[in-house]
Structure 1
Amino acid sequence: MNLLIKNAKIIDDTSSHHLLTKDILIENGVLSKIEDSIENTSNYETLKLENLHVSQGWFDSSVCLGEPGFEDRETLENGLNTAGKSGFTSIAMNPNSKPVFNDNAQIFSVKSKTQHHAVNLKPIGALTVNSDGVDLAELYDMQQAGTIAFYDYKKPISNPNLLKIALQYTKHLEGFVYSHPLEQKISGNGVMNEEKLSTMLGLAGSPNLAEAMQVARDLFLLEYTKGKLHIPTISTRESIDLIREAKIKGLQVTCSVAIHNLFFTDEMLHDFDTKYKVNPPLRTQQDIDALLEGLSNGTIDYITSDHNPLTIEDKNVEFEHASYGTIGLESAFGALNTLFSTEIAIKLLTRGKKHYQIESFSIEVGEKANLTLFNPDEDYLFDKSCVFSKSKNSIFLDHDLTGRAYGIISNNQIILGK
């Protein structure tokens, strides 16, 4: 691909051009010139966009795509196009398909179908067979096929001995174990955060304790095994305290937070709107404040959209019976850029790559073109016209956001959303 990008402000603190507005020439997928002004002597395609900014390509560590088995929710092709239009050059795909990804043939299949796409798909394999929580899946074979981690999506590992064995087994594999932070016997039938509001609304609550107990148990097992553990989408101040202590001890633990858990509190549930039903549930402002502090001091390693497409039938029912989840790729940048400065938002969208051994490319001459294109200053109402996903279950619908992705340049291809 040959392309001349005009008047782009570069946001990349690893680059000598950081915060400078430059023309960027891409030849055969490589950055060949970065200068104040570049003449288009070769008559290449020219890209000019309003208030154009560029950064290294973004990464999301928790994305569901549906296919195979749930193509009514989302397909691989449209899901990857959605990621690209939303600014992501790499995503990690959860194994909650049908069948669940729990052997090397399934991993080979999804990688083969997506290998030529602009968005780099990294499959996560199931930790246990069919994600049933009973027997370990073919972890080594899946890792050889290209799996980057092992996770029974949103399913807690109730058997502590199973997690112990998994941590021991994966110590010398490149992939690592995810453990969903929820003690189900404490959470029970809880469908929202357990606080005064849950009592007022008459909804069963899931307390902070249900998350913290599971995190504490998992960290004890991690300390015993000396393995590698990722705790996805934490939501409570207690979890942050536990993980901070574990990191001080030198344990190999990482954690993430879903963007919507930084943006909304449980107060959004007054009208029983099922778009706000997520797992973990929306918590209190005190929890959000602790999460934001955890991001700033490095206790929380990275963010995720926790993108989970669901059909109208999954959501348009009574609150207690609605499915958990929201799409989040399209709103990820706008939400983060509303909460943080643009530079911090970009760091949060890129710093998870190193944990998954995804190569980063600085915006310098000679580097591979792996770029996200965006406008950080556009204010808009996030509505269905902003949604590229096949499913429309966005928690951010009808909320004001600031900043919108234009698309990506990756794998010698360009994807634009507007």
Structure 2
Amino acid sequence: MNILIKSATIIDSKSEFHNLTQDILIENGTILKIAKNIKNTNNYQEIKLENLHISQGWFDSSVCFGEPGFEERETIENGLKTAAASGFTTIALNPNTHPVLDTNSDITFVTAKANNNAVTVLPIGALTIGSNGVDLAEIYDMTNAGAVAFYDYKKPISNPNLMKIALQYASNFNGLVCSFPQENKISGLGVMNENITSTKLGLKGIPALAEELQVARDLFLLEYTGGKLHIPTISTAKSVALIREAKKKKLDITCSVAIHNLCFTDDVLTTFDSNYKVLPPLRTQTDIDALIEGVKDGTIDMVTSDHTPIDIEEKKVEFDHANYGTIGLESAFGALQTIFTTKKTIDLLTKGKQRFGVNYSPINIGEKANITLFNPNSKYTFNKNHILSKSKNSIFQGASLKGNVYGIISNNKVSLNN
């Protein structure tokens, strides 16, 4: 792959060319030259786009597809096309398939299906067999097959002793354990945030306490066991405070927040639109303010689209019976830019790599090209025409977003949007 990128503004704090507008010459997937003006003497393919900006390739720590078992929701092939078109060069893929990814061969299947693609897939193995929360899965064996973390997606580990054993066992090989922050005995049959809005709508609520109890429990366990813990998609102000205190104690803890939990309050549920039914649920403005502050001060380590395709049969039903989840890859960049500056947005989309074992690839001469191309200034209303996923369950339909993605260059491949 030989490419000449013309007049690109480089947004990469780890690059010596940060904030400069340069030409970039790439030969055989490696950055050969960066300069103000490079002549195309070898007649390479040129990339010249309006207000072109580039950064290190983006990373998403929580993506679901469907294959194997739920191909009607999303296939690996189309999911990777969607990720590339959305600017992501690397994704961590959740194990909530059928069967659940809980063995060496399951992890091998996913990596083989995703091989030879511009987007790198990092499989997450189930923490327990079948994600049933009873017996620990063969997590060391999955590590040998390429699993980068272990997580029963959206299923809390109710048995604290099982979580204790998982943290202790995984620490023997530096494994990353993920724990969904919800105490099911508190959340009960709730379908949205427990608040004045849930009372008005007559919907059962999930108290913030359900999340905070689980976070506090897991932090106590981590302090006791050591090991590495990641808490995905926190949603309450108290969770931010608990994790902030844990970091002051130097515990090996990271956490993420779903982008939609930074953008919407539970007030949007007055329409009973099931696209707003997500887990953890949308909370209050007070929670959003605390989450944004946590992102800014580094308490929250990364953001995620928490991309979860759900087919129409499981969304176009009564709100109580609808499945949880929203797609989010396509809207991630544009949504973040409505809250943060472009520089901060890019920082958030490239953070979290190290935690999941991804090497940083700064935009410097001699480095492998791992690049996202984008225009940060375009404004538009997100609609179905912007959705590339097989499932169309986007929480951002009708939202005003800022910035569009041109594509990616990664793994010695170019993937540009039409």
State the TM bucket, normalised to the shorter chain.
Answer: over 0.9
Once the 2 structures are TM-superposed, how far is the Cα of residue 172 of structure 1 from its aligned partner? 2.0
Q: Structure 1, residues 322-343: CA drift from partner, whole Å, max 9, x if none?
A: 0000000000000011110000
Partner of 2:303: 303
Partner of 2:76: 76
Matched residue type, 1:211: E
CA contact (8 A) 2:156 2:179 kept: yes
CA contact (8 A) 1:86 1:417 kept: no
Any residues of structure 2 matched to 1:81-96 within 5 Å, and which? 81-96=81-96
**2:26 is aligned with 1:26:** yes
Once the 2 structures are TM-superposed, how far is the Cα of residue 175 of structure 1 from its aligned partner? 2.4
Distance in 2 (alpha carbons) for counterparts of 1:197 and 1:114: 43
Distance in 2 (alpha carbons) for counterparts of 1:17 and 1:139: 41
Matched residue type, 1:226: G
Distance in 2 (alpha carbons) for counterparts of 1:376 and 1:351: 18
Matched residue type, 2:4: L
CA contact (8 A) 2:174 2:227 kept: no
Name structure 2 gaps, 5 residues minimum. none
CA contact (8 A) 1:148 1:174 kept: no
Partner of 1:356: 356
Matched residue type, 1:355: R
How many residues were matched structurally? 418
Distance in 2 (alpha carbons) for counterparts of 1:101 and 1:380: 38
Matched residue type, 1:339: I
Partner of 1:258: 258
Decide which moves more: 182-191 or 169-178: 169-178
Matched residue type, 1:139: I
Distance in 2 (alpha carbons) for counterparts of 1:209 and 1:283: 12
Q: Structure 1, residues 300-357: CA drift from partner, whole Å, max 9, x if none?
A: 0100000000111110000000000000000000001111000000000001101112
CA contact (8 A) 1:10 1:53 kept: yes
Any residues of structure 2 matched to 1:322-341 within 5 Å, and which? 322-341=322-341
Partner of 2:102: 102
Distance in 2 (alpha carbons) for counterparts of 1:49 and 1:394: 28
Partner of 1:177: 177
Partner of 1:145: 145
Matched residue type, 2:397: L
CA contact (8 A) 1:338 1:403 kept: no
CA contact (8 A) 2:174 2:228 kept: no
Once the 2 structures are TM-superposed, how far is the Cα of residue 416 of structure 1 from its aligned partner? 1.6
Distance in 2 (alpha carbons) for counterparts of 1:411 and 1:49: 22
CA contact (8 A) 2:219 2:246 kept: yes
Matched residue type, 1:201: L
Distance in 2 (alpha carbons) for counterparts of 1:104 and 1:340: 40
Once the 2 structures are TM-superposed, how far is the Cα of residue 174 of structure 1 from its aligned partner? 3.3
Partner of 2:249: 249
Q: Structure 1, residues 112-133: CA drift from partner, whole Å, max 9, x if none?
A: 1212111000000000000000
Q: Structure 1, residues 158-199: CA drift from partner, whole Å, max 9, x if none?
A: 011110100100012232111000011111111000001100
Partner of 2:11: 11
Q: Structure 1, residues 189-221: CA drift from partner, whole Å, max 9, x if none?
A: 110000011000000000110000010111111
CA contact (8 A) 2:277 2:325 kept: yes
- The secondary structure found in structure 1 opposite 2:330 is helix
In the superposition, the TM-score normalised over structure 1's length comes to 0.99
- The secondary structure found in structure 1 opposite 2:240 is helix
Distance in 2 (alpha carbons) for counterparts of 1:383 and 1:99: 33
Distance in 1 (alpha carbons) for counterparts of 2:225 and 2:157: 16
Matched residue type, 2:347: K
- The secondary structure found in structure 2 opposite 1:339 is coil
Matched residue type, 2:296: S
Matched residue type, 2:207: P
Name structure 1 gaps, 5 residues minimum. none
Partner of 2:229: 229
Any residues of structure 2 matched to 1:14-413 within 5 Å, and which? 14-413=14-413
Matched residue type, 1:297: D
Matched residue type, 1:285: Q
- The secondary structure found in structure 2 opposite 1:224 is helix
Percent same amino acid among aligned pairs? 65
Aligned-pair Cα RMSD in Å? 0.7
Distance in 1 (alpha carbons) for counterparts of 2:20 and 2:167: 45
Distance in 1 (alpha carbons) for counterparts of 2:252 and 2:15: 29
- The secondary structure found in structure 1 opposite 2:55 is strand
Once the 2 structures are TM-superposed, how far is the Cα of residue 285 of structure 1 from its aligned partner? 0.4
Matched residue type, 2:11: I
In the superposition, the TM-score normalised over structure 2's length comes to 0.99
CA contact (8 A) 2:58 2:87 kept: yes
